[in-house]
Amino acid sequence: MQLNIVLVEPEIPQNTGNIARTCAAVGAVLHLVEPLGFSVSDKYLKRAGLDYWDKVDIRYYKNFESLKSQYPDFPFYYVSTKGSIVYSDVSYPDECFFVFGKETKGLPESLLIENYNLCIRIPMRPTIRSLNLSNSVAIVTYEFLRQKNFCNLQLKGHIPTKSD
């Protein structure tokens, strides 16, 4: 099982840092498609990711086509407010890619049209433009993991007692 999160031209370092932290927590690969709206050494990016950078598999691409060409046999799901399918109505394969667009514009319209049957959405009130990017990634990520019975993740916590 391998979850892949793709950010196409992310603009806000704090969002990418939060997403990297989520990827570290669940073992997902983070794919970043340039151009990035920040430097990967940005202090806000590092602060949002805290000390998890060495626990994240991050891969960089010059453009989306180069990413797709490296994984021609894997399904890609495009997350957009324009998607026709609710994200929780899809039964995801064990290895897939979730593609998210930049914060200000989302994914390119041409990409959505070409992949209409693979465009998923998170339901929300019609008067709201969109959710925060890092929140959207977390929602879709945990639905994928729920479907896989949270494979390889710790399911039970432990509250410390005085005897610990």
Select from 54, 112, 108 the least CA-distant residue to 78: 112
More confident residue, 84 or 99: 99
Classify residue 126: in a domain, yes or no.
Answer: yes
Q: What residue type is 154 in one-letter code?
A: Q
Tokens of 92: 């995801």
Classify residue 162: in a domain, yes or no.
Answer: no
Classify residue 74: in a domain, yes or no.
Answer: yes
Instruction: Write down the residue that tokens 């070409």 correspond to.
Output: 114
Number of domains observed in the structure of the chain: 1
Does the annotation flag 79 for ligand binding? yes
Does the annotation flag 130 for ligand binding? yes
Select from 23, 77, 29 the least CA-distant residue to 52: 23
Q: What residue type is 77 in one-letter code?
A: Y
Classify residue 153: in a domain, yes or no.
Answer: no
Classify residue 159: in a domain, yes or no.
Answer: no
Structure confidence by residue, pLDDT tens digits, 73-85: 999 999 999 999 9
Does the annotation flag 101 for ligand binding? yes
Q: What residue type is 59 in one-letter code?
A: R
Structure confidence by residue, pLDDT tens digits, 15-55: 998 999 999 999 999 999 999 988 877 576 666 666 677 88
CATH number at residue 39: 3.40.1280.10
Domain extent at residue 131: 2-147
Classify residue 160: in a domain, yes or no.
Answer: no
Does the annotation flag 113 for ligand binding? no
Select from 37, 32, 26 the least CA-distant residue to 7: 32
Structure confidence by residue, pLDDT tens digits, 50-68: 667 788 999 999 999 999 9
Rounded Cα distance between 38 and 47, Å, is: 14
Classify residue 120: in a domain, yes or no.
Answer: yes
Classify residue 137: in a domain, yes or no.
Answer: yes
Mean pLDDT of 142-159: 90
